[in-house]
């Protein structure tokens, strides 16, 4: 157990280093991009800068959440602070939605009445943005993206990378054609990418906060019932406490005379190996009769 905790803490420490490096890269480039966007009069660049501001906030929140999640359980916090990472991921998703809505609003206005855009500045800054975001993406790709917290930060950076590619294309088209509406069109593409990534992040974090079962409870119960000696499985709850930390509890009835302790160990190993449910709380008791009566209603958290 101690070696597992050490491995998990070491992984979080590695994730924090990656998040910190990415944060420095994003903040440095964001300041330069805001200045360039004002000079060029480019919505696409301002949209990217706004998204990068949320990137910086997301990375900062992810760093804090990762630090909190590494604290041990104490007092009333019997599960520790692992859910702080899920809350950070949820906040990242909501922030992305707000930014996307603002970009859509500004893009529509500029499509109706497009201002002049300096395509050369847009292209130069966008290409620099591609380089910076590619570096940040490579740094975060080494972190553990099974963590929803890290994945949320990674999505911010990855969508920015795609957005800068689109912005660079808009700069090329403006230089080639002189048609300034390519800039707000690129802004709309950025918004679509942000909407997509935010909805995926919000869906997964909301499922965890609402304690939706990560696996189908009926399938889990059926596998448990297939173990020799198990008669009934009921009051089954399966939920995710935090990234990489899934839990299960159940009341299990076994045949009269069966070894409750041995069956509990077998069930615990089955749940860990088959479903990744390494944290299990199983109440195992003898049934009154040896006949299998099937499952009682299963509740899943």
CA dist 213 and 12 (Å) reads 25
Residue 119 CA to residue 138 CA, distance in Å, equals: 28
pLDDT at 129: 82
Round to the nearest angstrom and report the end-to-end CA distance of the chain.
25
Q: What is the DSSP letter of 74?
A: B
pLDDT at 3 over 70: no
pLDDT (average), residues 126-133? 85
Distance of alpha carbon 74 from its chain centroid, rounded? 26
Domain 217-286: which CATH class? alpha beta
User: Within 13 Å, how many C-alpha atoms sit on residue 290's CB side?
Assistant: 5
Element (H, E) at 266: helix 260-275
* Domains of the chain by residue range: 2-209, 217-286
What is the side-by-side order of every strand in the sheet holding 279-286?
230-242, 245-254, 279-286
Can you give the pLDDT at residue 299?
47
Parallel, antiparallel, or unpaired for β 245-254 and 279-286? Answer: parallel
Strand partners, 246: 240
Question: 255-301 pLDDT, tens per residue?
Answer: 998 999 999 999 999 999 988 888 899 999 998 765 444 444 454 44
pLDDT at 44: 64
pLDDT tens figures, 177-233:
888 888 788 888 888 888 887 888 888 888 888 888 877 888 999 999 999 999 999
Determine contact, residues 250/297, Cβ cutoff 8 Å: no
Two tokens, residue 125: 């800054």
174 vs 113, 170, 191, 246, CA distance in Å? 16, 6, 20, 51
What is the C-alpha separation between 298 and 91, in angstroms, rounded?
A: 32
Express each pLDDT in 161-175 by its tens digit: 877 788 788 888 888
Distance CA 159, CA 161 (A): 5
- The H or E element containing residue 237 is strand 230-242
Q: What are phi and psi of 188, to 5 degrees?
A: -65, -35
Q: Who has greater pLDDT, 225 or 139?
A: 225
- pTM exceeding 0.85: no
In CATH terms, 2-209 corresponds, of 1.20.90.10, 3.90.226.10, 3.40.50.80, 1.20.1510.10, to: 1.20.1510.10
Q: What is the pLDDT of residue 171?
A: 81
Structural contact between residues 134 and 97, judged by C-beta atoms closer than 8 angstroms: no
For residue 240, give the 3-state DSSP assignment.
Answer: strand
Q: What is the DSSP string of 125-172?
A: HHHHHHHHHHHHHHHHHTS-TTSHHHHHHHHHHHHHHHHHHHHHHHHH
Percent of the chain with pLDDT over 70: 87
Listed in sequence order, the residues at least 6 apart from 125 whose beta carbon sits closer than 8 Å to its beta carbon are 32, 33, 36, 37, 40, 45, 167
Residue labelled with tokens 């990674």: 154
Q: Is there a shared CATH topology between the 2-209 domain and the 217-286 domain?
A: no
pLDDT average, residue stretch 126-135: 86
Comparing 269 with 70, which gets the higher pLDDT?
269
pLDDT of the residue at 244: 67
Task: Return the pLDDT at 162.
Answer: 78
Query: Lowest-confidence range among 4-13, 21-30, 186-195, 238-247?
Result: 4-13
Overall average pLDDT of the 62-83 stretch: 75
For 203, other C-beta atoms within 10 Å of its C-beta total: 10
Angle (CA) 256-261-266 rounded to 5° is: 100
H or E element at residue 67: helix 43-69
Token reading at 275: 């479903």
């Amino acid at each position: 157990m101690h070696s597992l905790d050490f491995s998990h803490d070491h992984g979080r420490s590695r994730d924090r280093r990656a998040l910190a490096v990415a944060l420095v890269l994003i903040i440095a480039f964001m300041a330069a991009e805001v200045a360039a966007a004002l000079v060029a009069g480019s919505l696409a660049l301002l949209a990217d800068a706004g998204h990068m501001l949320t990137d910086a906030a997301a990375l900062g929140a992810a760093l804090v959440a990762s630090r909190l999640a590494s604290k041990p359980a104490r007092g009333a916090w019997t599960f520790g602070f692992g859910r702080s990472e899920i809350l950070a991921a949820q906040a990242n998703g909501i922030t992305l939605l707000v930014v996307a809505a603002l970009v859509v609003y500004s893009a529509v206005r500029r499509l109706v009445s497009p201002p002049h855009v300096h395509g050369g500045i847009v292209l130069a800054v966008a290409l620099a943005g591609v380089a910076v975001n590619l570096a940040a993406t490579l740094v975060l790709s080494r972190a553990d993206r099974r963590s929803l917290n890290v994945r949320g930060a990674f999505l911010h950076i990855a969508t920015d990378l795609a957005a800068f590619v689109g912005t660079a294309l808009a700069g090329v088209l403006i230089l080639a054609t002189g048609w300034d509406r390519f800039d707000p069109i690129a802004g709309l593409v950025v918004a679509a990418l942000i909407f997509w990534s935010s909805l995926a992040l919000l869906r997964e974090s909301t499922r965890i906060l609402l304690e939706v079962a990560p696996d189908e409870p009926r399938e889990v119960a059926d596998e448990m019932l297939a173990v020799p000696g198990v008669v009934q499985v009921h009051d089954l709850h399966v939920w995710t406490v935090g990234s990489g930390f899934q839990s299960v509890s159940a009341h299990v009835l076994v045949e009269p005379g069966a070894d409750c302790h041995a069956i509990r160990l077998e069930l615990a190993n089955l749940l860990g190996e088959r479903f990744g449910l390494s944290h299990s709380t199983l109440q195992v008791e003898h049934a009154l009769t040896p006949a299998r009566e099937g499952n009682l209603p299963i509740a899943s958290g």
